[in-house]
Amino acid sequence: MPSSSPFNTEQMTLAELFDGRRVFSFPAFQRPYRWTMDEALTLIDDVASAAHRQDAGYFLGNLVMTEADGRDCMVIDGRQRLTTLFMLLCVLRDLEQDGNRRRGLHRLVRDEPDGEGRTEPNWRLRFAPAEQALIENRISAFQNLSDPSQEGRIIPDRYLTMFQVADSMRELLSLPTTDTGLPPLLDFTDYLLNHCEVIVLTASSATSGLRLFQVLNNRGLQLSEADLIKPDLLKALPIEQQAEAAIIWDGLEDRLGADHLDTMLRAYVFVATGEWVPPGRNFAPSLKAAMMGRGPDTFHFEDLPQYADAFADLHWGDIPFDEPEENPNHLIKALNFLGRTDNEWKEFIPVALEILVQFDGNYPEIYRHIRALDRLFFVWFINETSEPTRRKICSELIAQLQAGENTFMPGKAFDISERDLERAIAALRQPFPKLYQRGALIRRVELGLCEAAGEPAPPYLELATTVHVMPKAPGAGSQWQIDFTRAEHRECLDLLGNGVPLTRDLDKRIGNRDFKAKRAVYLESGASTYFKSVGEVCTYKRWTPSDIRDRTEKVASLIENSWRTISVEPIPDDDEFDDFDDENETSELDEIVEEIRNNVDEADSQSDKKDTSET
């Protein structure tokens, strides 16, 4: 017995698709319009080529939709193509010279009122309420796009993309066919309407449509994990709130990009639940559980915006600060260099997010906590602390931050044991034969020098390589073999003082040259200005074992001092300092007044005694 399909499949021409039997809208979870001018013009070129060849038909693609009440259809998949075709019909309508044909094209994109109340005015495509007015005024009527404003409002980028695509199509189709190679406009329009076809899959229910949407996108349309989980998350909200929440999601992806949005959501899961979901593992069930734990309203309208803002500041290096010498962005950048791969040692991200959320606007406290985070992770990194231990302590740290506890006090997460701290500090002065450890620490030194000088980090530090000043394999008879015994070479090679960041091209140029030749190239190339570590090495006239030990002590002390001077107690903000000073001044004034009163009372008493004696 044949099973009934949850989908009804129809093949139809564009004229049939827009004949008025359907009015199309888009669910809140779908991405906004993302096609570019290139994609839209390619569509026109493909249709024109098929028309020139007089092909019997041209396939425009699939549309997946659900049919609800009467004509209303929700487009589950195919928004980009359907919106572009709608705009193309509007352009062809406006360019049509024949009045009857113009009215016929207009009926494909809009129902006009009949004057007797039987027909309501209605565009064939419906958008979210926030978009509808802009779309009607700028797309459906196709006004001039030279002024990017609408009644005094600036058009958001997500809508301006649509207008730019429409304007490009209008410009192309307005040119003489001798310039474009397109068929005459009449022939092009007829072929588009009557010979270009789509396959429409109409789902029997919204659930079936959503399932097909997720299957299609999992098979190659490369939507992010956030895109695939977003429908389920939005469904937890009342229908009237879904469009507002969808705009928040769109803004997040526009600001962070799909990959970084996924990273932020994984970090949020850890913040909310303590579960670590590594890249490559589906985080949808965990995120949904986190949302339900917080509540759909709180998740969408409070948590998403504030954690996304924090992640953007974290990722783009935009954490605000008061003093150039107290720039937390240098420390965050250094933490990104931990590990052998990009996906290792990233437990610092959710902790940093929680710090930014908890101390929003309190720049001294943000800096103090980021310094402690830097110390915690680099001590772990040097001592090779295991993943389970790191994740357990990070989860405890987040819980302590959320509870408003002082995380620096004994027994709290930032309270590193004296044994672990001293072990890591001692290691700073020892060789680091493991390249991944040495590379991260050399970059940490570079960023520490930039922070101490109150200067920004060198651009593209992540693209630089970390190299030995004294090379690993000195040439026979070189100055290196004169200045270093074999034992000294082994001792000094992998010390932090013998390492600097450098561009790969420059490193290839200088190879195993003697120090004087290297120093000359460092200075002439500008590397000594670009990288502070290189500039510091250039202050040495020679490069001997004692020089390497000297510089190792300097850079180790730079990091050590940063780790040892973190305040345990919260740093009062300026207002608290003002209140403290006022209290001190008031207290001192009260003491002076009291002393004067006592002196006056004593003087009065002596005077009374004198008067009595004389009497």
pLDDT (tens digit, 9 = 90+) per residue, 381-396? Answer: 999 999 999 999 999 9
Question: Does residue 425 share a domain with residue 279?
Answer: yes
Please state which of the ranges 66-80, 150-164, 320-334 shows the lowest mean pLDDT: 150-164
Q: Does 273 reside within a domain?
A: yes
Whether 380 shows a pLDDT value over 90: the answer reads yes
Q: Does 232 reside within a domain?
A: no
Model confidence at 79, pLDDT cuts 50, 70, 90, reads: confident
pLDDT at 346: 95
Give the three-class secondary structure for 200.
strand
Q: Which of 418, 442, 466 is the last residue of a domain?
A: 442
pLDDT at 603: 52
% of the chain exceeding 70 in pLDDT: 81
Question: Does residue 263 share a domain with residue 144?
Answer: no
pLDDT, tens digit, for every residue of 410-439?
A: 999 999 999 999 999 999 999 999 999 999
No. of H helices and E strands in the chain?
29, 11
pLDDT at 501: 96
Question: Does residue 169 share a domain with residue 143?
Answer: yes
Phi, psi of 242 (to 5 degrees): -65, -40
Please state which of the ranges 89-98, 164-173, 198-207, 293-302 shows the lowest mean pLDDT: 198-207
The DSSP bridge pattern shows strands 72-77 and 196-203 to be: unpaired
Q: What is the mean pLDDT of the chain?
A: 84
Q: Does 447 reside within a domain?
A: no
pLDDT at 431: 96
pLDDT, tens digit, for every residue of 580-602?
A: 444 444 455 456 546 645 655 55
pTM above 0.75, yes or no: no
Question: Does residue 154 share a domain with residue 75?
Answer: yes
Instruction: Output the CA–CA distances (angstroms, integers) from residue 343 to 125, 263, 280, 452, in the order listed.
Output: 43, 10, 10, 29
pLDDT, tens digit, for every residue of 446-502?
A: 999 999 999 999 988 988 999 999 999 998 889 999 999 999 999 999 999 999 999
Q: Does 610 reside within a domain?
A: no
Highest mean pLDDT pick, 22-26, 81-85, 108-112: 81-85
pLDDT at 589: 46
CA angle centred on 54, ends 188 and 101, rounded to 5°: 30
**Residue 497 and residue 260: Cα distance in Å, rounded?**
35
Question: Does residue 120 share a domain with residue 36?
Answer: yes
In total, the chain counts a number of residues equal to 615
Six-digit token pair at 77? 């998949």
Q: Does 234 reside within a domain?
A: no
Q: Which of 223, 252, 283 is the last residue of a domain?
A: 223
- Answer for the pair 156, 147: CB distance below 8 angstroms, yes or no: no
Whether 133 shows a pLDDT value over 50: the answer reads yes
Whether 262 shows a pLDDT value over 50: the answer reads yes
pLDDT at 68: 60
Question: Does residue 438 share a domain with residue 298?
Answer: yes
pLDDT at 611: 45
- State the total domains in the chain: 4
State which amino acid sits at residue 56: A
Tell me what the mean pLDDT of segment 25-30 comes to: 73
Domain that holds residue 365: 239-442
Give the residue from 212, 216, 456 showing the smallest Cα distance to 329: 456
pLDDT, tens digit, for every residue of 510-548?
A: 888 999 999 999 999 999 999 999 999 999 999 999 999
Question: Does residue 543 share a domain with residue 408?
Answer: no
Q: Does 27 reside within a domain?
A: yes
Q: Does 76 reside within a domain?
A: yes
Question: Does residue 394 share a domain with residue 246?
Answer: yes
Question: Does residue 218 share a domain with residue 294?
Answer: no
pLDDT at 3: 46
pLDDT, tens digit, for every residue of 137-157?
A: 666 654 444 444 444 445 555
Question: Does residue 305 share a domain with residue 256?
Answer: yes
- Answer for the pair 286, 269: CB distance below 8 angstroms, yes or no: yes
For residues 247 and 298, the model is more confident at: 298
**Residue 67 Ramachandran class (φ > 0 left, ψ -120 to 50 alpha, else beta):** beta
Q: Does 1 reside within a domain?
A: no
Q: How far is CA 449 from the centre of its chain?
A: 27
Whether 208 shows a pLDDT value over 70: the answer reads no
Question: Does residue 593 share a domain with residue 479?
Answer: no
pLDDT, tens digit, for every residue of 157-197?
A: 566 778 888 888 989 999 888 888 888 999 999 999 999 99
Model confidence at 211, pLDDT cuts 50, 70, 90, reads: low
pLDDT at 144: 42
Q: Which helix (H) or strand (E) holds 412?
A: none
The DSSP bridge pattern shows strands 122-123 and 7-13 to be: unpaired
Whether 244 shows a pLDDT value over 90: the answer reads no
Q: Which of 223, 250, 265 is the last residue of a domain?
A: 223
- Answer for the pair 117, 106: CB distance below 8 angstroms, yes or no: no
Whether 313 shows a pLDDT value over 70: the answer reads yes
Q: Any residues with CB less than 8 A from the CB of 372 and at least 6 apart, and which?
A: 407, 408, 414, 566
Please state which of the ranges 7-11, 241-245, 290-294, 574-578 shows the lowest mean pLDDT: 574-578
Question: Does residue 588 share a domain with residue 519?
Answer: no
Please state which of the ranges 130-144, 220-234, 314-328, 487-501 shows the lowest mean pLDDT: 130-144
